Structure 1
Amino acid sequence: MIEIERKFLVTSFEFKNEAYAKKSIIQGYLSSNPERMVRIRTNGKDGFITIKGKGNKSGMSRFEWEKMIPLEEATALLKLCEEGAIEKIRYEVKVGDHVYEVDEFFGENEGLVMAEIELESEDEVFKKPSWLGKEVTNDEKYYNAYLSNNPFTKW
C-alpha cells in the first residue's frame, strides 16, 4: 500500500503520438490535508475513492489506498468535495519497461502537462523519453491536491 512515483513536467506534445490509451478524469478532494488526502475520481465509466498519506522526505513514497466505487456514487461524492475540481486527460505511454501517465490539465490548470511514473523502488532505473522535462517529484505545488486550491493559471 506504498506508492512510489516520480513526477516530471512535459516539454512537448510528442507523447500524444506514442500514447496507447487516453481517458478523461475529473477529481475532487473531500480532504486536501497533506497528512490524509481523500480523493474522489471519475475516470470514464469508473469511480474511485483514494486515501493518500504524507510523502516521505524524497517525496517519492507515500501510503496510498484506493478502491473502485460505482460511477454514480463517485459523481454524488464529487458534489461534496472542496472547491477546485481537477479536470484532465490522462495519456498512457509505454517507455521501455514502464508506463508513464501523462496528464494534460484543463479548466483553471490549463497549460500544465505532467508525467508520472510508478516504480517498485526509489532507486529503480527507468528510461526518460525526450519529451520529459524537469523533475518536480518533491515540489508540493505540483500535487493535484495543491492545484485544486491553487490553480496553475493563477501562479
Structure 2
Amino acid sequence: MSDTGPGDFEFERKFLVRELPAVVASDPAPALIVQAYLFAADGYAVRVRVQGGATTELGTDPGELVSALDQDAIGTITTKGPAVGGTRYEAERELDPLVAAEIVRRADHVVAKLRYSVWLGQDGWVVDQFLGANAPLVVAEVERGGPVVDLEIPSFCVTELSEDDRFRNEYLAYRPFAGWAEDYRRELDRRGPSFVDTLGRNQFEGHRPSDHR
C-alpha cells in the first residue's frame, strides 16, 4: 500500500490454502496482526490495525493478542472501496500504535492472524493463518503495484478467493469462518476449485490440469 493520497489502489489475488505450507512455516518471525473493522457495508470498510512481532504465547482474546505485540508494533487506519477485477481502492495512513491498540481493544468486530512472508518465483507472497473464531482458515495473497496478471500459482493454493466476498477480512470480522466452514467445505467439494481466468494466463506449479474454471 502506498501513502500518496487520493487515488491509492491495491492489486491483489487471494487463494484458499488447506494448511500452513512448509515453505512459509520456516519464516522465523511471522507478523501478528490484530485489526478492527469500525465500518463495513457493500464493499466499503474502515479498518484500524496494529501489527508487529509477538512477544508471548498467543491467546484468543483481542485484548490479549494486542498485549502480545512487541514494542516496535505499528498502527494504521485504512479506508477501502469495493473490489473489481482484483483491484480495490485502499488508502492507508499511520496511526500512533498506542491509539490504534486501544481502538482495537474496544472494538466489537476484530480479526487476528499470523502473517508469513515468502518470495516465490517472481512474486512476494503472504500467507495468513487466522486465529480465534476464524481458525483454521489459511489464505495466501499476492500483491503487485499493478494488476496481478499471468500469475504463477503455487501448488498449495486450493482455489481462488479473489472474487468471493465471504473471505474479505471485513466479512470475517462480522461472520467468523468457524460458523460456516463446514458449509463451505461441502460447497467446494461439490463445485470443485476455480480460478479467475480474466487476468492473463494462469500458470500452475507442478503442471496442474488446465481445465480449472
Confirm or deny a common fold (TM above 0.5): yes
What is the total number of aligned residue pairs between the two structures? Answer: 152
Q: Indicate the RMSD between aligned Cα atoms, in angstroms.
A: 1.7
Is 1:144–2:144 an aligned residue pair?
no
Query: Unpaired segments of 5 or more residues in structure 2?
Result: 1-7, 53-72, 181-213
Q: Give the number of the structure with larger relative contact order, counting CA–CA contacts within 8 Å between residues 6 or more apart.
A: 1
Equivalent runs, 1:20-35 vs 2, <5 Å = 21-35=29-43
Query: Measured at CA, do residues 27 and 12 of structure 1 come closer, stay the same or move farther in structure 2, by a change above 3 Å?
Result: same
Task: Determine helix, strand or coil for the equivalent of 1:28.
Answer: strand
Q: Which has the higher helix share?
A: 2
The alpha carbon displacement at 1:124 in A equals 2.2
Q: Which runs of 5+ in 1 are unaligned?
A: none
**Regions of 4+ moved over 4 Å:** none
Q: Please say if 1:113 is aligned against 2:138.
A: yes
The structure with the largest strand share of the pair is 1
Deviation of 1:122 (Å) = 2.9
- Asked whether 1:72 is paired with 2:79, we answer no
Does the aligned pair in 2 maintain the 1:21–1:92 contact within 8 Å? no
Matched, 1:122 2:130: no
Shift of 1:138: 0.4
1:93 corresponds to 2:93: no
**Cα distance in 2 for residues equivalent to 1:95 and 1:34:** 33
- Normalised to the residue count of structure 2, the TM-score between the two structures is 0.66
Does the C-alpha gap of structure 1 residues 12 and 79 become closer, same or farther in structure 2, counting only changes over 3 Å?
A: closer
What is the TM-score with the length of structure 1 in the denominator? 0.89
Q: Deviations over 1:107-152 (max 9, x none)?
A: 0001100011112333522322221220010000000000011111
Map of 1:46 onto structure 2: 74
Return the offset for 1:18: 5.1
Q: Contact conserved, 1:105 with 1:111, CA < 8 A, in 2?
A: yes
Counterpart position of 2:66: none
Alignment partner, residue 10 of structure 1: 17
Larger radius of gyration: 2
